[in-house]
Chain A
Amino acid sequence: AQSVTQLGSHVSVSEGALVLLRCNYSSSVPPYLFWYVQYPNQGLQLLLKYTSAATLVKGINGFEAEFKKSETSFHLTKPSAHMSDAAEYFCAVSGQTSYDKVIFGPGTSLSVIP
Chain B
Amino acid sequence: DVKVTQSSRYLVKRTGEKVFLECVQDMDHENMFWYRQDPGLGLRLIYFSYDVKMKEKGDIPEGYSVSREKKERFSLILESASTNQTSMYLCASSPNWARYEQYFGPGTRLTVT
Contacts and interface: CB of A to CB of B under 8 A. Distances in A.
Given A43-B107, A90-B43, A107-B42, A102 B50 contact: no
A107 B50 CA distance: 26
Interface size class of A (residues with CB under 8 A): 20 to 34
Contact of B42 (A41, A96, A105): A105
B106 A43 contact: yes
Contacts of B98: 32, 94-98, 100
Interface string A87-114: 0001000111111111011110000000
A52 to B, nearest CB: 8
B48 A101 contact: yes
Given A90-B43, A101-B48, 12 more contacts: A32-B98, A36-B104, A43-B92, A43-B106, A44-B102, A51-B99, A94-B98, A95-B98, A97-B98, A98-B97, A99-B50, A106-B41
B61 interface: no
Nearest to B41: A106
Residue with the highest number of chain B CB atoms closer than 10 Å, among A34, A43, A46, A95: A43
A84 interface: no
Interface in B41-61: 41-43, 45, 48, 50, 58
